[in-house]
Structure 1
Amino acid sequence: MEDLVATVAAHGLTCHVLSSLPEPQHQESRPAALADLADDVRVTQGHVLTPRDIEEYLDHLRDTGVDVRCCLTVWEGYRHLMALANARLGVPDLDEKQVLELRDKVVLRNRLADAGLSRGRASVLTPTTLAERQREGGRYFVKPVSGIASFGTFPLTAGTSWADLERIAAEARSDTVYASVFLAQPGPGDPVGPRTAAHGTSPGTAEVRKTPDMEFLVEDYVPGREFSFEVIVVDGEPHVVAVHEKCEMTETVSAVLEDACVSPPTSLPREELVAGLRWVSSVLDTLDLRWGCFHVEARHAPSGWDLIEVNPRVGGSLISPSVGQLTGGPGLLDLWLESLITAHRPAGFSERLKSLSFAADGTPQGHHATFFRVFFADPGTIREVRLNDGPLRPVLSHILLKPGDVVEPASREVFLGQVLWRMDLADRDAILPALVPASKRAIEITYEREHG
């Protein structure tokens, strides 16, 4: 929220914040912190925002004479509410139905497979399909049907049990922040019941059905090296402003952690990057995604490009500031906001965006490269967190936990901190060999020793 408020202020706009009720330990401090940042803050009585909350707040702003230009959220669980608000405001954006369809990863995977843009298929995981896939002995991946971040995502193994999935689902139910994302998918105009498109059918014709609890899918494992395309789409024209290569990843028993990213990519031949740009454009066109900001996660193998996810938002961690360092000015959050406030007359912004984006021949427009590393905490009580020097001074560092914080075991990542470096693109290949290993010690953490 701090980044979002700063971005809004930088565009000369006022910022009005609608927030759900924080967890008890933050109910005094967090609203007060927001009130110091924003021009107006409303906190609801529930832990989850609803369409009714959106409607009532927009009515309140209108009645007090506020001219609302657009609505923006970086939290994927509320992306359909952003779409609902922008539709009411008449701002070109994805519609609510499209957002919910993107978040149904079974429908998304199979729709792209039908179009020849994915070689994998997905189906809802049940005890029966779990046993079948394990007997088949192929490579498969498990994730929530409508998940977020890395919560409950992992490769299927012979040792995966239905009890493992029930444990992860129980964690989701008890997690105030994440429960609404996994357990309730409100359909258009439905503020109460969890609904998703029927699995295995075309999203355009799907019947809406109730889902009483968290569902998992099993899909064909997507091989290859992982990348993300940071895309702004304006009036049907996609602009890839950055491509990040996930140069280090860790697959744990219950999550996949993205440890480090470099941009532009270092391992892709130019022709394969060009093929990736064309593939992303085909994916967005097939899904009829004509407006918005997208973090498209994909893998590249000798067989070509294939999809991980299409996220209708900015990428997490340091993706947005990384884009800012690459462009020498606007980050991804700035560009997303500007695409919304210029949507009725996008010509000038589209030209500016084109000047910041990859050319069709795979040439990046900027002269900088970035590298960032994300640090995750292990379960335990933190005794000390320290930022260390290295071979290159970082342009940005965030430490998100402090001594005394207790990290509980969970099936999702717990962010400790993150550090971003920038270098001249011409010097990147000389700098990275020393920076990458040294960066692992950029943030150092020690834990209290367990007694007994």
Structure 2
Amino acid sequence: MEDLIAALEARGLRSFVLSSSPLAPGRAKRLQELSTKADALLCTDWDALTADDVEAALDELRKRGERVVACVSVWEGYRGLMALGNEKLGVADLSPSQVNFLRNKLAVRNQLAAAGLSHARAVALTRDNVDVLKCEARPYFIKPVCGIASYGAFALRPDTTWDSIQRIAQEARIDEVYRSAFGEGLAFMAEDYIPGREYSFELLLTRGHVHVLAIHEKCAVTETAGTVLEDACASPPISIDAAVCAEGIEWIDRTFRQLGLKWGCFHVEARHDGTRWDLIEINPRVGGCLISPSVKALNGEDGILELWLDLLLASSAGSESALDAFEARLASLSFTADGAPPYEHATFFRAYFGRRGKLDYVGVRDVDPAPILSQLFVTAGTEITQASREVFIGQLLWRVARQELEASLPKLMRISEQAVEVRYTEPNAVRAA
């Protein structure tokens, strides 16, 4: 929220914040913070926003004489509400039905497979087919049909049972932070396991035109029994050349055309197996972790969050010339059609995740080279109870010259592993996060 408000202020705009009731015990403090920073705060009495809340907020602001330009949310669980708000305002964006479809990973997977754009198939996971799938020779990956934060995403294993899957579903139902993002319930799917190294494409879509602002290579991925943690990323990628990047951009363009998408901000996760690209998932939002600051460090101008705001502003203006000018700017910041990045910098970032337990200490160590951005999200005394999703401790970002990335990466991987120190309350628990 602070990043959004700062970006709006930099553009001479005011911010009107619609919030659900923050979680206790920090409810009063957080509402005070938001009311101080935003130009207007509208807060509900419940812990998740609804479509009625969005419409009521727009009506209230209209009665106050305010002209709302556009709506934005970086929270995937509210992406449909953002689309609804923009639809009411006449702003070019994904429709609510398109957002709902993209969040249905089972439907997206099978539509793309039918069109020849994915080589994996998926089925709904049930009590009756878990053991059948385990007996098949092909590997499968389990994930929620409508998921978030890598919640309950893991490779199917011989010891996976329906009861263990239901335990994850129950954990989601009582998770105060994420439960509203799962809709009516947490349904699971099983899809063919997609091999290869994983990458993410950070892009904006304008009038059906794909603009890839960055491609991040996932340098370290940890698969656990209940989730997948994306530990470290580098951009631009070093394991593939420009020709493969170009193939990926062209494949995304065909994919978006197949799905009928024309507007929005996307974080597309995909794998390349040495021969072809295949989809992990399409997220209709800004990438998490340090994706947006990484993009800003790469191009020296704006992160993906700021550029998404500029897209909404350009489309809300109702002027073809405004969109033409914005697309020209995007072109100067985007990968070329032949897969070349437009900038001379490279970035590396690492995320740090917690495990179950109570934190006794968390801090950033002095390392060389020093990160250009350090963020910690927890303090001593925090108790972590979740095990089936990401629980962020903090994140650090480095920037180097692009031509030095490949040579610098081994050292960055090594020093970043120990850059955040975490101590839990139990004895002998000093370790890197």
TM-score, normalised by the number of residues in structure 1: 0.92
Give the one of 203, 207, 211 matched to 1:231. 203
Distance 1:399 1:284 in 2: 36
Question: What code does the residue aligned with 2:299 have?
Answer: T
Within a 5 Å distance, the mapping from 1:182-197 to structure 2 comes to 182=182, 184=183, 194=184
**Amino acid of the structure 2 residue aligned with 1:434:** K
CA offsets, 1:114-137, max 9 Å, x none? 111100011110012211111113
User: Are 2:203 and 2:265, in contact at CA under 8 Å, matched by a contact in 1?
Assistant: yes
1:444 is aligned to 2:421: yes
SS in 2 for 1:342: helix
Structure 2 letter corresponding to 1:300:
H
Give the equivalent residue in structure 1 for 2:431: none
Alignment correspondent of 1:110: 110
2:167 aligns to what SS in structure 1?
A: helix
Structure 2 counterpart of 1:73: 73
- Number of aligned residue pairs: give it: 423
**Which of 290, 307, 312 is the aligned partner of 1:318?**
290
Q: Which secondary structure does the structure 1 equivalent of 2:239 belong to?
A: coil
Q: 1: CA distance between counterparts of 2:276 and 2:158?
A: 28
Say if 2:369 is the partner of 1:392. yes
Are residues 1:349 and 2:312 paired? no
The structural deviation recorded for 1:61 is 0.7
Contact 2:134–2:157 under 8 Å retained in 1: yes
| Residue 165 of structure 1, CA deviation | 0.9
Of residues 319-328 and 339-348 in structure 1, the stretch that sits farther from structure 2 once superposed is: 339-348
Q: 2:404 and 2:33 mapped to 1: Cα distance?
A: 41
Give the alignment partner of residue 225 of structure 2, picking from 250, 253, 270: 253
SS in 2 for 1:128: coil
Q: Decide whether the 8 Å contact of 2:199 with 2:269 is kept in 1.
A: yes
Aligned counterparts of 1:266 and 1:390: Cα–Cα separation in 2:
23
Q: How does 1:269-280 map to 2 (within 5 A)?
A: 269-280=241-252
Alpha-carbon deviation of 1:392? Answer: 1.1
Structure 1 distance, partners of 2:390, 2:415, is: 22
In the TM superposition, 1:43-442 aligns within 5 A as 43-182=43-182, 184=183, 194=184, 213-343=185-315, 344-345=318-319, 346-442=323-419
Asked if structure 2 preserves the Cα contact closer than 8 Å seen for 1:391 and 1:434, the reply is no
1:427, CA displacement in angstroms? 1.9
Cα distance in 2 for partners of 1:375, 1:80 equals 29
- In the aligned structure 2, how far is the partner of 1:433 from the partner of 1:6? 35
Instruction: Report the residue type matching 2:11 in the other structure.
Output: H
Note the C-alpha offset of 1:409.
3.7
Deviation, structure 1 residue 361? 0.9
Q: Secondary structure at the match of 2:48?
A: coil
**Distance across 2 between alignment mates of 1:102 and 1:155:** 22
Q: Which residue of the partner structure matches residue 200 of structure 1?
A: none
Taking the aligned partners of 1:59 and 1:340, their CA distance within structure 2 comes to 20
Whichever residue aligns with residue 311 of structure 1, its letter is: N
Residue deviations 1:58-110 (CA, integer Å, cap 9, x gap): 00111111111100000000000000000000000000000000011110000
SS class of match (1:24) = coil
Distance in 1, matches of 2:114 and 2:103, equals 18
2:206 partner amino acid: V
Q: Distance in 2 between matches of 1:396 and 1:367?
A: 19
CA distance in 1, matches of 2:357, 2:135: 37
- CA offsets, 1:278-315, max 9 Å, x none? 11111111111100000000000023000000000000
Displacement of 1:250 after TM fit? 0.1
In structure 2, the residue matched to 1:208 is none
Cα distance per residue 1:247-294 (max 9 Å; x no partner): 100000000000000000010022211111111111111111100000
Contact 1:390–1:435 (CA<8 Å) still a contact in 2?
A: no
Residues 225-265 of structure 1: CA deviation (Å, up to 9, x unaligned): 00000010111111000000001000000000000000000
3-state DSSP of counterpart to 1:259: strand
- CA distance in 1 between counterparts of 2:80 and 2:112 reads 21
Of stretches 137-146 and 429-438 in structure 1, the one that deviates more from structure 2 is: 429-438
Q: Structure 1: which amino acid aligns with 2:243?
A: E
**CA shift for structure 1 position 450:** 5.8
Tell me if structure 2 keeps the 8 A contact 1:124–1:216: yes
Gaps of at least 5 residues in structure 1 are 185-193, 195-212
Deviations 1:17-44 (A, max 9, x none): 0001112212211111111211111110
Runs of 4+ in 1 over 6 A off after TM superposition: none
Partner SS for 2:361: strand
Alpha-carbon distance in structure 2 between the residues aligned to 1:135 and 1:79: 38
Distance 1:104 1:329 in 2: 34
Write the letter of the residue equivalent to 1:11: R
Whole-Å separation in 2 of the counterparts to 1:289 and 1:32: 39
- The secondary structure found in structure 1 opposite 2:355 is coil
Equivalent residues of 2:355, 2:387 under 8 A apart: no
The one-letter code of the counterpart of 1:25 is P
Could you tell me the TM-score, scaled by structure 2's length? 0.96
